[in-house]
Structure 1
Amino acid sequence: MNINPFKTILPFLVLFLVYSCGENKPKNKTDESTTVLTAKAYKGTASVTQGIATTLLEDIYECDRGRKTDVGEITSTDGKKWTVPAETNYTNENFPFAIDLYNACEGKNYNTAQEAMSHYSDLDIVEIDSDGEVFTAYIFADNYFEMYVNGKPVGKDKVPFTQFNSSIVKFKVHRPFTIAMKLVDWEEHLGIGCEENRGKPFHAGDGGMVAVIKNKKEETIAITNKDWKAQTFYTAPIIDLNCTSEDGGYRYSKNCNTDGGKDGSKFYALHWQIPEGWMHTNFDDSDWQDASTYTNEVIGVDNKPSYTNFTTLFDDPNKDAQFIWTTNVILDNEVLVRHTVE
């Protein structure tokens, strides 16, 4: 009798396929369910995402020896879509770029503020009030900033990530005026606040911003310090969602692990919606925390000429500007700050 070999192995083939599908399908559902259940156990007000975001834009700025400046999108367990590391105006032509105080990416390796200002044109002054005073802001941000005065865009960072740079913004306005800034600690691994650093593929980055504002007489009329207000809107990486806490408008991650690791694909992130009108003078920031201050050593700027070339400016012994951020300079990645200059 002739035996058809295909008929002989067919039942085993069917069993193999059924078994394989049965193994794969529940595994995916289990992973998804675990994420959703974990997010539901989270008691805070943020939306929760897990894992790496989808890249939408690659290298919005390229710099020799600089890190990648990609932008991505990720969906949280409540169905909202989030731009990471932040939704910015970097590609918006109507939002002016700041002038370089120091920018190695473009060969602007100035040694003093005076040298940098010699390349400044009065055409770069942003006018808020036509009969106002002219003020100059000197800014070092790790990594990116967008600055508003009385709600009007006055300058954004040219270098979103690295090499580290510093900037000048000039504007004309009446006193008092309100400064509002969006600060972004950029990331290589989109959606989890990580970069490759210090021998770890998934190392949590850190932020920090310092600014000095002078009038036309070169008198310092404002510096960054604890009198500013600050709030986080994107915190990552989070390994255990139970490490976070909130107290009214205060958002804390000080008890969270900041070690990073070799695999960040399961790390969580917390996202809060940025409120409308946050950059305007009449915005109520009373429930935001006071800005936390950090030393030069903590931020790690002592080997960066974009800062050290201008220590007489930023570290004036009479009016020493301090680095500011929220309470967690490592995990808080998108931060808004505000201050009114009387």
Structure 2
Amino acid sequence: MNRNRIGALTSTATLLAICAAVHSIADAQQSNVKSDQQPSFTQGEAQTDITKLYQWTGNNPRTANVGTIKSADGAEWTVPAKTHFKSATKAADLYNEANGVEPDGIADVDLEAIPLLDAGGDEIFTVYVFGDNYFEFYVNGKLLAVDAVPMTPFNSSVIRFKANRPFTVGIMGVDWEERLGLGFEKFRGASFHQGDAGLVAVIKNTTGETVAITDANWKAQTFYTAPLKTKKCLVLKGGIRDSSRCSTEDAADGTSYFAAHWPIPENWAAADFDDSDWPNAKTFTNEFVGVDNKPAYTNFTDLFDDSKTDAQFIWSSSLVHDNLVLMRTTIGK
């Protein structure tokens, strides 16, 4: 064998060894990618790919837009979130001013008229959800339905589905924004107002027994946090992404504020997804969330605020800053 041939084989072998090593490192890094992944930061307002998902023209008219923004590391992020709003089944209305569905209470709701969705099972369950602002509802990784209204008017939803216990519920919650990429909304003349969020849910079986409520036993992890006056206010430690120490004051001009983003795991809603390093959900009182003037909630306090099984508003570390939050629990385990 000539020297050139030997050299070529050696170079090829070396290259293959290097590639194998790189793939080994990449696989190891991928297997270790958990909630301690550092965020990508963006600064300023999203200016590209702005599209309108929904517009409310009644009292307090709002437009729910979505757009994209690039971070300093070259990653592109959809803000406030990538959703299935246009393609997925819309959750039935419990109370929705936009569709003229305004019952005085649960006794006025015809539950049998609600479509029955199949999550792979025989037992029938009904979930009632009030989310500020938008949610997507999964069972065992299957998307069943999404909120009918991304932003306003404030609405509540009801979903009926079939499943077998144990089953895992995943809910994506989005606090919508009007200054895309900044987390601000326009409120009572303020162009840079820091809005808040929160979600409450109750799941019942066909006998009316409550089988699950939102509480501190759920897991909740944030994937988009804004507005951040400074990056330093974020506390990042292991799976903790804590923005509760960040300023909640409105700004005269928030165009230079920052946002933190993390990629969403593809199988985050699956039953076998490992959420052990996710923090538990934080709970918030009705007064803190501010639902006393929202009939989509107050018309159903006997449901959401049952004295024996009182569901709580949950979110991640901050109702104000955390705009995209994934929440999970397993029922009947």
Q: Structure 1 vs Structure 2: percent identity of aligned residues?
A: 49
When normalised by structure 2's length, the TM-score is 0.86
**Root-mean-square deviation (Å):** 1.4
Distance 1:260 1:73 in 2: 23
Conserved 8 A contact 2:175-2:323: yes
1:287 matches 2:277? yes
1:107 matches 2:100? yes
**Residue among 55, 68, 72 paired with 1:73:** 68
One-letter amino acid of the counterpart of residue 118, structure 2: E
One-letter amino acid of the counterpart of residue 99, structure 2: E
One-letter amino acid of the counterpart of residue 127, structure 1: D
How much has 1:270 moved relative to structure 2?
A: 0.2
Unmatched runs of 5 consecutive residues or more in structure 1? 1-42
Conserved 8 A contact 2:222-2:324: yes
How much has 1:58 moved relative to structure 2?
A: 3.6
How much has 1:91 moved relative to structure 2?
A: 1.1
Conserved 8 A contact 1:49-1:74: yes
Distance 1:218 1:297 in 2: 27
1:54 matches 2:44? no
**Residue among 120, 134, 145 paired with 1:129:** 120
One-letter amino acid of the counterpart of residue 42, structure 2: T
One-letter amino acid of the counterpart of residue 264, structure 1: G
Inter-CA distance 261–314: structure 2 relative to 1 (3 Å threshold): same
- In structure 1, the partner of 2:186 is 196
- 1:153-302 correspondence to structure 2 within 5 Å: 153-302=143-292
Distance 1:63 1:197 in 2: 15
One-letter amino acid of the counterpart of residue 129, structure 1: G
Distance 2:80 2:166 in 1: 32
How much has 1:198 moved relative to structure 2?
A: 4.6
How much has 1:168 moved relative to structure 2?
A: 0.3
SS in 1 for 2:152: coil
Deviations 1:37-89 (A, max 9, x none): xxxxxx98100000010253443122223311000100000000000000000
- In structure 2, the partner of 1:3 is none
Conserved 8 A contact 1:75-1:82: yes
1:88 matches 2:83? yes
Equivalent pairs counted in the alignment come to: 295
- In structure 1, the partner of 2:311 is 321
How much has 1:204 moved relative to structure 2?
A: 1.0
Unmatched runs of 5 consecutive residues or more in structure 2? 1-35
Inter-CA distance 118–134: structure 2 relative to 1 (3 Å threshold): closer
Q: Which has the larger radius of gyration?
A: 1
Conserved 8 A contact 2:50-2:68: no
SS in 1 for 2:277: coil
Judging by fraction of residues, say which structure has more strand.
2
- In structure 1, the partner of 2:133 is 143
Distance 2:120 2:68 in 1: 38
Conserved 8 A contact 1:192-1:268: yes
One-letter amino acid of the counterpart of residue 93, structure 2: D
Conserved 8 A contact 1:55-1:190: no
When normalised by structure 1's length, the TM-score is 0.84
Deviates more, 1:102-111 or 1:197-206: 197-206
Conserved 8 A contact 1:204-1:258: yes
How much has 1:113 moved relative to structure 2?
A: 1.8
Deviates more, 1:148-157 or 1:109-118: 109-118
Conserved 8 A contact 1:90-1:156: yes
